[in-house]
Structure 1
Amino acid sequence: MINIMQNDGGGLPKINLDEKLPIQTGESSILVPKIEVLQENVSPQPQVKSGKTKKVWLMVLIFFSVFLIYNLVVCFLIYQKGVKLATSLNQLSVAAQSKDLAKIKVGLDQTNINLGNFRTAYKFIFWAKILPFVGPYVKDGDHAATAAKAGIEAGQIVVTTIEPYSDLLGLQGGVSPILGAKTGEQTTQDRIDFIIKTIPDLLPKIDSISAKAKTINDEISQIVPNRYPEVYKGKKIRSQIKTIQGLVEEVSGFIVNGKPMLENAPYILGMDSPRTYMILFQNDKEIRPTGGFMTAYAMMKVDKAKFEPVSSNDIYNLDAQYKPSIRAPEPIIKYIKGPYILSQNLRLRDMNWSPDFGVSMQTFSSAISKLGLGNIDGIIAVDTQLLTNLLDAIGPIGVPGFGNFSTKIDPECSCPQVIHELESFADIEGPIIWDPLTGKIILRPPNSDNRKRIIGPLMNSILANAFGQPKEKLPALFEAGFKSLIEKHVLFYIFDPKVETAVSDFGLGGTIRNYDGDYLHVNDANLGGRKSNLYATEDVNQDIKIGSDGTVTKTLTITYKNPMKQDGWLNSVLPTWVRVYVPQGSTLITSEGLDAKTDPYDDLGKTVFAGFFQLRPEGVSKITFEYKLPFKVSKNYKLLIQKQPGTDGFLYLIKLGKHSEEFYLKTDKELKIGL
């Protein structure tokens, strides 16, 4: 303690360091109290090793730099190879358009090389398939490249296969084409004979092409169009992918089903023994369920692909020999009237009532067998569109005793001259007067004894001209025949079950198909409207709505139009019985626009909505059906539309959400829409 003492002598006080001061309590001290600092058990901070951290970051930087450079180099390499591939594809396209086989071969080989180089470069980014966003696009690229490879290989097989037929297909530059080995005057018949004889050599190659087509279809179908934009830089992307997918699937099916058809072609053409067919002429200007009113017929023999001349006869003459025994469908009885007032049994000429050509011909062939016409091998139906297609390819022809025929538009009917002449010959009206004493006809309209005898000579002249064409016209002739087949202007019903199956699978049997998905077939029957279908058209609009639970509701609107005036000859009021075939079990919600209708019923494995209306000249009729499908959809919506034979490409519009598609229905069409 420190004690301060007073100095007696004045001056500074003394400090006694030994004296203890008493402890004072209760009084504030002027001293600063001592503060005890609590000591915590704090671990010492480690010393940062700055050198090691820099090395880690440097390694990361180097890795990403190398990775970036690698990808830039690979992408540039892929781009280079892609440019070369695109160039070779363009050159191949130009070669194909030139129809020069030699150039096509070179183009295929060069494209194959460039495609190989592209695929090699593309493999360097295969690792990206595992990435969540980029991966699917990389996979799509691989699918497209694999499909392209199979496509090139298929193209090489096709070129080798068709080389002997190069002049038939209008191709140039083939090495010693067999068909052109003689002269340019070699006839179509000679070429057909050669084709039939070489079918056995074609079949193994068809197998190879089918395998490649399957690979292409399998790869292309795995690409998801909906992950791509609708439009990019003014070009349609998504719809183009869907179009390619649909085309590939269609071609693949065509090739697969083409083999059985080729295998059975020798049978149809009488290569082993002569065949006899009934040729039915269906007038598509008077539309009926299988393509037209059965107006005439002829018997034709085919022996080793050679067609003997035919003579035609009026279906009414055949009908006069037939004793009806089957009750006619109610619409025929009610609206055609005429002979059905006396007897309600079905006439031969109306037996193509089923939209399925095979079903109709079963009924028809059974009936004509009772008239001694059962010794035939099948029935082939043709319509007037086949005539015009062939005449477009051949040019004007002369028919002895009947004059000249062409496809030049006749102003009297605004139709091809050949159609005008056929209708003029057949439809001259007037009274028939009998001699009361002898019973002989003394006055009747021209041609009333056989209004359709012109058809036989016309067909003979067309066939003679077709089989005598020089090679310059063969491609157009081949295209006309093929177009008529796939557009259902020629239908086959062959009595041999195996051959009939091949014909039907190839799409030439007019069959109502089974289908796993949505389905539509609009079928019209002219029940007494003269030849008004020459002018009538129809637009078909399908508005499809899919609910959150996958329920599909459709509104089908069919707009019929006849822009021409009534002429008292071809064009008049058109009474029509319309049938709409939809998936079996579909529920009709409402229908509008029909003058008369029936309750929905089932036929040919479908549910049918049907009714009657009339379309007037210069008039419009609109029919609407709203219905619900019997199944639900989730990821994809599929629709098969089957064309009615004899019709000529009506306009169809499909709407599903943002998806809209418009097309002319020239043949059966399948649509697949991702949801």
Structure 2
Amino acid sequence: MRKNISDKQPEPRLHGEKRKIRRRPFVAVLTGVAALFIIMGSSIAWLAVKASTINKELDAAAQLLPALKNDLTSNKADDATAAVERLRVHTAVAKAAADDPVWTLASSVPGLGPNFSAVAEVARSADDVASIGLTPLVKVFASLDWDSVLPSSNGSDLGPLQAASPSVSAAARTVRLSAERLNQIDESNLMPQVSEPLAQVRKQLAQVTGTLDSAAATAEILPGMLGTDTPRSYLLMIQNNAESRASGGIPGALAILNFDQGKLTLGAQSSASSVGTMSPTLPLDAEQQQIYSGRLGKFMQDVNLTPDFPSAAKIAQEMWEKKTGQRVDGVLSIDPVVLGYILNATGPVAITDPTLNAVVTDVGLPAEMNGSNVVQTLLSDVYTKIDEPAMQDAYFAGVAKEIFGALSNGKGDAKGLVSGLTRGADEGRVLIWSGHNKEQSVLLDYPLSGSISGQAVLPAQFGVYFNDGTGAKMDYYVERTVQLVKECARDGYEETTVRVTSTNTASPDAATALPEYVTGGGVYGVPPGSVQTNIAVYGPVQANVETVKLDGAKVEFAPYLHSNRPVGVFTVQLAPGEIKTVDFTFSKIVQHAEPNVFVTPTVQDVKDVTLPTENATCG
């Protein structure tokens, strides 16, 4: 039988000849997949190494920041310079790890890629802050002789500050751009391991950006404000917290501060009552007149019923000019708490005025002011021990004269003075307004402008402001707490309650134990010993003030609008020992930023007034 071709047997293989093996397709695929897994495994291991490096280096950099801050505040320029150099080494290594090609490739992988990209941006921003931001700032710090920079009777040397202005401004711009890049990262798709640290870095970078911006602004406008080009004069208002006003307290002592080439001299002194009554009343904008009445433009004692310090300062400038004929270049404001901070730096000052010394001897007031006794003396003892209001004002003015006399003579520790004034500014106790438009446009970007609108106000900022309604000095005995409560969102909008709790700590016999000048004697309808306060609460722009509750029960209130911010006003009266809580609820809040609150600075420490935000339980 004949065989078919298909039945042909394979040819015999010659001795030594290797047999050719045909790989089947699925075997090749498996081999490729195995190789891919090996590559991926290597890449994952490599990425893990880089992630560990970035984490370790950035953590090491963060550990250096407290020491750097301490070096700066302690005037240790060499140590601060060394700390920044070490910090730069750590951030440079972290940035190099994040710029690795494999890490960059991983940033483009769908799903996980944004996490790698976010970490890389954090590393780059940290390096920007260290190399471009902190380095020039520390160099400027090291070059300054603080004793010669600050105003004194001998003038000040602002040359180094002026020379440093361009480099500090450039550093501020670069770091601001880094902050903006981080803020543009969409964190909705990030893993918690990345999104949570990112939020912390954003907050820290915002603080650094604020510091650099402040340094740049200071270098830009401070020389001119201290009279480098032409002499300057400022009206100083010392706000008396014992009788609350929205920005702190009733303007007590007034004085003129003169600056010429950085040389500080104390000019005329006066009091708010001495300025008298404006007739006709100065013109006001309609919104503020509606909320705070025409008293804003009538009495110097009431210019700061409004919390908007630029408005109050402009009115005070005009009142002073009408009274004295002098047009000042700006208005500065501090309170007795800040006087205490200044005295901590200058050391004690003695009362040298012979007339005041006689009063001190007769009534037992301190003959020497220091950081520990000045607040109680000026806000309480002076009223309980001196009966005559004119002499009370004279004593207040005399203390201010001695303190600023010590400053003008260059007495005390310069760094301590800067630290004290910085603390006062952070607490809202130091406010500045310039009548020169260019300078004021810079100041408006910062909280020390006291503005209730613009760049200085955070997106979700609330404001709680107190105005005395007793017509006396009883606010010294009031303790307050303010707390934000984040309610459950409604209709897609945020909702927040501002809770204000007030306690009258005066003794039960305050009506008779305290002088009539302190209690008010019932002249304005408030029983002696009781305290009446008009509370004005501001919400974020475009929100609504929905309800007000007094101790849990809804009450009628006065709703207003100021600079497109909703305002709720309610009056509280407290008998001695009485406690009341008022809740102002705001709805339709379009801002999704974390809320914060600014409160009128009082006798209390700010940290004791503002409580941590509370989150409501939402189902």
TM-score, normalised with respect to structure 2:
0.77
CA apart distance, 1:386: 1.4
Asked if the contact 2:342–2:371 (Cα under 8 Å) also holds between the matched residues in 1, the reply is no
Residue 597 of structure 2 corresponds to 641
2:168 alignment counterpart: 206
- Over 3 Å counting, the alpha-carbon distance change for 1:399 and 1:597 in structure 2 is farther
**Alignment correspondent of 2:584:** 625
Change (3 A) 1:548 1:210: same
Q: Which residue of 1 aligns with 2:219?
A: 262
Amino acid at match of 2:533: T
Match of 1:309 in 2: 266
Aligned pair 1:189/2:152, yes or no?
Answer: yes
Match of 2:484 in 1: 542
CA distance in structure 1 between the partners assigned to 2:31 and 2:44 by the alignment:
20
Q: Residue 454 of structure 1 aligns to a residue in which SS? A: helix
Aligned to 1:531: 473
1:142-541 to structure 2, matched below 5 A, reads 142-153=120-131, 154-165=133-144, 168=146, 189=152, 193-194=156-157, 196-222=158-184, 241-256=198-213, 258-310=215-267, 312-319=269-276, 323=279, 325=281, 346-401=298-353, 402=357, 403-408=367-372, 416-420=373-377, 423-426=380-383, 428=385, 445=388, 448-466=389-407, 473-514=413-454, 517-528=459-470, 530-541=472-483
Higher gyration radius (CA): 1
SS in 1 for 2:40: helix
Q: 1:228 to 1:573 in 2, by over 3 A?
A: farther
Please state how far the C-alpha of 1:160 moved relative to its aligned partner. 2.0
Whose helix proportion is higher, 1 or 2?
Answer: 2
Q: Does 1:57 align with 2:30?
A: yes
* Unaligned 5+ runs, structure 1: 1-47, 170-178, 180-185, 335-339, 409-415, 431-444, 660-675
Match of 2:401, SS state, is: helix
2:503 corresponds to: 561
Deviation, 1:552, is: 3.1
Segment drifting more, 141-150 vs 552-561: 552-561
Q: For residue 165 of structure 2, what is the amino acid of its counterpart?
A: L
Instruction: Sort the Cα spacing of 1:113 and 1:357 in 2 relative to 1 into closer, same or farther, 3 A.
Output: closer
1:573 maps onto 2:519 in alignment: no
CA contact under 8 A between 1:147 and 1:217: conserved in structure 2? yes
The offset of 1:530, in angstroms, is 3.2
Aligned partners of 2:385, 2:113: CA distance in 1, in Å? 72
Note if 1:112 corresponds to 2:88. Answer: yes
Cα distance, 1:204 vs. partner?
0.8
Give, in angstroms, the shift of residue 475 of structure 1.
Answer: 2.1
Q: Secondary structure of 1:189's partner?
A: coil
Displacement of 1:614 in angstroms is 0.7
Question: The residue matched to 1:478 in structure 2 has which SS?
Answer: helix
The CA deviation at 1:575 is 0.5
Cα distance between partner residues in 2 of 1:81 and 1:637: 28
- Counterparts of 1:272 and 1:327 in 2: how far apart (Å)? 33
1 or 2, which has the higher strand percentage?
1
Distance 1:62 1:253 in 2: 51
Q: Deviations over 1:347-396 (max 9, x none)?
A: 33223322212222333433443323343222222211111111223332
Identity fraction in percent:
16
Work out the CA distance in 2 between the residues paired with 1:351 and 1:332: 10
Contact conserved, 1:254 with 1:506, CA < 8 A, in 2?
A: no
Out of 45, 48, 61, the residue aligned to residue 72 of structure 1 is 45
Give distance in 2, aligned partners of 1:102 and 1:327.
54
In structure 2, the residue matched to 1:669 is none
What are the superposed Cα offsets for residues 574-602 of structure 1, whole Å, 9 maximum, x if unpaired?
Answer: 11111122245544443222998554222
Mean CA deviation greater in 120-129 or 143-152: 120-129
Say which of 104, 117, 125 aligns to 1:139: 117
User: Match of 2:258, as an amino acid?
Assistant: K
Answer with 80-89 or 399-408: which moved more: 80-89
CA distance in 2, matches of 1:77, 1:429: 71
Q: Partner of 2:573: helix, strand, or coil?
A: strand
Q: Distance in 1 between matches of 2:31 and 2:613?
A: 60
1:304, distance to aligned residue in structure 2 (A): 1.7
SS for the counterpart of 1:358 is helix
Which letter does structure 2 place at the counterpart of 1:384? P
For residues 596 and 233 of structure 2, what CA distance do their matches in structure 1 show? 35
On the 8 A contact 1:314/1:450 being kept in 2, the answer is: no
Contact 1:228 1:238 in 2 (8 A): yes
Distance in 1, Cα, partners of 2:448 & 2:492: 35
CA distance in 2, matches of 1:97, 1:60: 56
Contact 1:422/1:454 (8 A) holds in 2: no
3-state SS of the aligned residue for 2:227?
coil
Greater CA deviation, 345-354 or 266-275? Answer: 345-354
1:36 is aligned to none
Q: CA RMSD in A?
A: 3.9
Amino acid at match of 1:644: T
Q: Counterpart of 2:559?
A: 600
CA shift in 2, pair 1:393/1:163, >3 Å: same
* Partners of 2:314 and 2:68 in 1: CA distance: 48
